[in-house]
Amino acid sequence: MALDAVAAIRQLQDRSSAKRRSAAKRLRTLGDSAAGPALLEALRNEVKDARTWETQYQMTMALGTCGSPSDLPHLRDLVLRRDTVQAVHTAGGDAIVRLSYMEHSHTEAIRWCMSSGNENLVDGAMQAVAMLRLALDQETVTEVLDFIEARPPHEGIYFWPAVAAAGWTGQRAHDFLTSCVDSPRSDVAEAATNSLAGNYGAYRPL
């Protein structure tokens, strides 16, 4: 039987990293705001051990669905730390955009992620943009694509923008997708083909 929110919150304190990870994944699915404080506290403890990076990832992703904008300062501090694992950078970018979207400041959050120069952080931000199906304004689209297209076309950072662009308008987005159809990466080419047809596809982050 699947855990309810109360049981999942309690399991965040389990001695087993696998069980803490399972609890975080369940809370991520439930999206219960009551779990936000417990997830933030659990994440603060979890990041002390780099070996549990998968659990850290799921806790950070869960915070994106259960937390509140008041958690943003902690997340921003976390992803800027040198000892933070790569997986948390990706999940942090996703969570930062999701929580910023709650107060309609997601474009600022996207720009903040790009200003860090951290490609994993930007990848996570674009993941959230795609999954939330955010229609960005033309200026933000231009800034995002300037950042993405400065990278070689074989890099994975192209994938989520290619998915997200299904909901973007303008010539720049169209040209981006057209170029991505010929990407050396089959996943990017498939996403771009779907997006040109106005279809987001059935993609799910880990």
Q: Tens digit of pLDDT per residue, the chain (206 long)?
A: 678 999 999 999 999 999 999 999 999 999 999 999 999 999 999 999 999 999 999 999 999 999 999 999 999 999 999 899 999 999 999 999 999 999 999 999 999 999 999 999 999 999 999 999 999 999 999 999 999 999 999 999 999 999 999 999 999 999 999 999 999 999 999 999 999 999 999 998 88
For 155, counting Cβ atoms within 10 Å of its Cβ (0-12 exposed, 13-18 middle, 19+ buried), the class is: middle
HSE of 125, CA atoms in CB hemisphere, 13 A: 31
Contacts of 37 (CB under 8 A, 6+ apart): none
Count of C-beta atoms within a 10 Å radius of residue 187: 14
